[in-house]
Copies of this chain bind each other. A is one copy, B any other.
Amino acid sequence: MKRIGMLTSGGDCQALNAAMRGVVKGLSANLDELEVYGFADGYKGLIYGNYRMLTSKDFSGILTKGGTILGSSRQPFKMMRVPDENGLDKVEAMKQNYYKLRLDCLVILGGNGTQKTANLLREEGLNIIHLPKTIDNDIWGTDMTFGFQSAVNIATDAIDCIHTTAASHNRVFIVEVMGHKVGWLTLHAGIAGGADIILIPEIPYDIDKVVEAIEKRTKAGKGFTILAVAEGAISKEDAKLSKKELKEKMKNYSYPSVSYELADEILKRTGTEIRITVPGHTQRGGTPCPYDRVLSSRLGASAAKLILDNDYGYMVGIVNNKVKKVPLGEVAGKLKMVSPDDQIIQEAKLMGLSFGD
């Protein structure tokens, strides 16, 4: 007999439901009795005691369903220690709800921010298992997060669609790809979609090099150019600014996003009008791809194994193709970024792709 709580926090992504199904299938196949409490809208549900008991029926047919059946919300880590408007101590409230329901364990699905609060709850003495979800793939301690490959598929679809129209009209197109402050999503979608130029936060771009790469294609008789640009891409100049200076600059920033600024700069230098496509939130929606369904099911099942073994305090990740438990304290708060020296970057450069550096 186990009593577990479950919540999904932060921006939703594909395969959240598949992961939860994995946990519950793993537990219910091995326990005579199981009680699962689902907290609504992330930590909010845990703080305010908003939950419902879930049966195996709730987890039937959700393997392919996008989003999260529990709902989600962003609850910034730095606000966790700050009482709410009614003076409620959030951490205490979460602990109380945990103990009131006599939970054996709390399974928390989320990204970097979520992980930090999960670790805080672990430090406060709760039994925690964390499952790494995010389309950004920026979680330290796991080679891969679920949601990432599904998002790569959607972003690549967008580039594929742009490819035919760019080629037909001899145009320069920017496809702006999500990924928060890291470049994994843009890097993979860019290579998969056959982009010519890939700009990611980890490799600040030199606008002159970007223009050079476009013009090199034109000279080679290639009528169109596709840029895959991360939402977090940054110019060499801006990368040199301090956080404060950057904040100051952003005050008067008139562009909806970096792609518009970039397009403007290219226009100024070349006279070429650039088209911009921003797939936006679609990248984290819809049915999870088979890769993510397998990954999330495996991680979920392995989480169930840990719970069955009363072995708590971990993120369950995948390292070198093996599912591994990673102590939460070791990973919380760390960001996994692309390195300019990564093999995949070198390979892409060898193929003639420009990173604007």
Q: List A residues at the B interface (Cβ < 8 Å).
A: 8, 11-12, 14, 16, 22, 25-26, 28-30, 41, 61, 63-68, 71-73, 143, 149, 152-154, 156-158, 160-165, 167-170, 173, 188-189, 191-194, 223, 256, 275-286, 289-291, 293-294, 297-298, 300-302, 304-305, 320-323, 343-344, 347-348, 350-352
Contact = CB atoms under 8 A, between A and B. Distances in A.
A226 to B, nearest CB: 11
B286 A160 contact: yes
Contacts of A167: 61, 67
A272 to B, nearest CB: 15
Contact of A347 (B191, B194, B323, B350): B323
A217 to B, nearest CB: 12
Given A12-B164, A281-B275, A71 B169 contact: yes
Q: How many copies, total?
A: 4
A161 B285 contact: yes
A80 B285 CA distance: 45
B169 A72 contact: yes
24 contacts: A12-B165, A14-B164, A26-B350, A29-B351, A41-B170, A65-B164, A71-B168, A73-B169, A152-B294, A158-B282, A160-B285, A161-B281, A161-B285, A165-B284, A191-B293, A192-B297, A194-B293, A256-B256, A277-B278, A279-B282, A291-B291, A298-B344, A302-B347, A304-B350
A348 B284 CA distance: 26
B277 A281 contact: yes
Given A162-B282, A192-B297, 20 more contacts: A12-B165, A25-B352, A28-B352, A29-B352, A61-B167, A63-B194, A66-B163, A67-B167, A72-B168, A143-B321, A153-B289, A156-B293, A192-B291, A277-B280, A278-B278, A279-B282, A297-B348, A298-B347, A301-B347, A305-B347
A286 B68 contact: no
How would you classify the secondary structure of chain A's contact residues: helix, strand, loop or mixed? helix
A291 B26 contact: no
A350 B282 contact: no
A162 B277 contact: no
A164 B151 CA distance: 13
Contacts of A28: 352
Contact of A350 (B163, B189, B305, B321): B305
Given A160-B64, A173-B281, A290 B343 contact: no
Which of A293, A321, A350 has the largest count of B CB atoms less than 10 A from its CB?
A350
Given A29-B351, A168-B67, A170-B71, A161 B286 contact: yes
Contacts of A289: 153, 289
